[in-house]
Amino acid sequence: MRADRSVVLLAERVVIGADVVPAAVHVRNGAIEAITAPSQPLPDGAEVIRLADDEVLMPGCVDTHVHVNEPGRTEWEGFATATRAAAAGGVTTILDMPLNSVPVTTSVAALEVKRAAATGQCAVDVGFWGGAVPDSLGRLRELADAGVFGFKCFLLDSGIPEFPPLSSAQLRQAMSEIAEFDGILIVHAEDPGVIAQSARVAHGHYMDFLAGRPDAAETAAIDTVIAAARETGCRAHIVHLSSAAALPAVAAARASGVRLTVETCPHYLTLAAEDIADGHTEVKACPPVRGRDNAERLWQALADGVIDMIVSDHSPSTPELKFAGDGDFDAAWGGIASLELGLSLIWTEARRRGHSLARVASWMASTPARVVGMPGKGTVAVGNSADLVVFAPDELRLIDNPALHQRHPISPYHGRAVRGAVRQTFLRGQRIDLAQPARGVLISA
């Protein structure tokens, strides 16, 4: 449908804020013009789309943690394939991480290279994070002014030589700089000292790999972030929290006024270390998937509001890297690709625990948009972008890796039964047709 036409989507179930209600969502020029009761008269000449009885209209998900890897490592993923996967999974906006591409996004010049690579390829809207590395300190404001949504840093080796970590002193320096313009620093929080002390040879044994990245690595690093955020007043965000042991410190810091938000990921909520067979390196991630009890504590933290949101940390690589060493966890690349699968995975587990689809939308759409500063995204509301998903929450299906839209059909979920299927995705009021030219745009903070 054309963006300039009047379109009305009618559904018996529409996710509006914390409610799921019958509604007619009126769209014009890419934005939601009105929300009315389905029984009210419809505009003359409007195109009417009636959802089936088993479908729910919900906001498009906002995934703020995606490694696209283009340019430079496009053989790992790329904007065309990543955004097709996003659209197929009900994600209408992504933010691309500043590393794994070449160059890394640590300068305005590098940002422009990345934007040029993305132009014309994106099926959904795409924004960018900048990188905070030792050489970019003192120049972060330039990247902020150029439109990045914030800055990513590591406290330990990132695995990519061109994206080195920050020391504790450099972390405080970065936070002081970012606080001056009220930006946000997002942190891969694992402590290198703890990991060095815990190091062991894992080879094909998952439990040995897990023991080499213990809970203490996350708790120590998060304590470092909290102390620096308290000292500088900077907004800080912990990416891909895996350890529930860090939750008391997070809750206490926020209660004392530290500006701290936290995300977790589908793999930490849907997988358990006890179930990971030796040699299955498709499940390797850093920080690692921990035990079943840990996952339940993460779910409780989501329910309690200690964890704010769920994003994918879509981190793909080539099969040669992901399966390097033929099942050797020390040799294989760490990263789980689930951009297309997150909504169904999370909804399957959330409904089992009594959570509503509206709560899932808050974790995967409205809160990510709010945390990073995307007004007009993430909710079904008048004036917002008409980024919408038609979701069938009761449909039972099996995940089929070869059918995935990402560049390499690798995930730890092949054959897993899930509830929920994305049947249509709309970007600014237009249905995304993956057979047609890409219509996503590049967005700035």
Residue 36 · residue 26 · CB < 8 Å: yes
Q: Report the pLDDT averaged over residues 208-218.
A: 97
User: CA-CA distances (angstroms) from residue 440 to 91, 93, 130, 301?
Assistant: 12, 9, 20, 34
Helix (H) or strand (E) holding 15: strand 7-16
**What is the pLDDT, as a whole number, of residue 3?**
47
Instruction: Give the integer Cα–Cα distance in Å for 56 and 268.
Output: 26
Helix (H) or strand (E) holding 141: helix 140-145
pLDDT at residue 4 tops 80: no
User: With bands split at pLDDT 50, 70 and 90, how would you rate the model's confidence at 200?
Assistant: confident
CATH T-level assignment (fold) for domain 60-374+396-417: TIM Barrel (3.20.20)
**178-199 pLDDT tens trace:** 999 999 999 999 999 999 999 9
Q: Report the pLDDT averaged over residues 141-167.
A: 97
Nearest one of 76, 69, 97, 87 to 123, comparing CA atoms: 87
**What is the pLDDT, as a whole number, of residue 65?**
98
Residue 383 · residue 32 · CB < 8 Å: yes
**249 token code pair:** 């410190």
Radius of gyration of the chain (CA): 21
Residue 76 · residue 66 · CB < 8 Å: no
User: With bands split at pLDDT 50, 70 and 90, how would you rate the model's confidence at 221?
Assistant: very high
- The DSSP secondary-structure symbol of 314 reads B
> How would you classify the pairing of strands 151-154 and 235-238?
unpaired
Query: Residue 19: beta bridge partners?
Result: 16
**288-320 pLDDT tens trace:** 999 999 999 999 999 999 999 999 999 999 999
- The DSSP secondary-structure symbol of 178 reads H
User: With bands split at pLDDT 50, 70 and 90, how would you rate the model's confidence at 280?
Assistant: very high
**Where along the chain do its domains lie?**
60-374+396-417
Q: Is the peptide bond before 103 cis (omega within 30 degrees of 0)?
A: yes
User: With bands split at pLDDT 50, 70 and 90, how would you rate the model's confidence at 1?
Assistant: very low
User: With bands split at pLDDT 50, 70 and 90, how would you rate the model's confidence at 5?
Assistant: confident
Q: Is the peptide bond before 71 cis (omega within 30 degrees of 0)?
A: yes
pLDDT at residue 321 tops 50: yes
Q: Report the pLDDT averaged over residues 215-222.
A: 98
What letters, b where the CB count within 10 A reaches 16 and e where it falls short, cover 43-52? eeeeeebebe
User: With bands split at pLDDT 50, 70 and 90, how would you rate the model's confidence at 121?
Assistant: very high
Q: Give the DSSP letter string of 354-422.
A: T--HHHHHIIIIIHHHHHHT-TT-SS--TTSB--EEEEEEEEEEE--GGG--SSS---TTTT-EEEEEE
396 CB neighbour count, 10 Å cutoff: 11
Length of the chain in terms of residues written: 445
**36-58 pLDDT tens trace:** 999 998 888 889 999 999 999 99
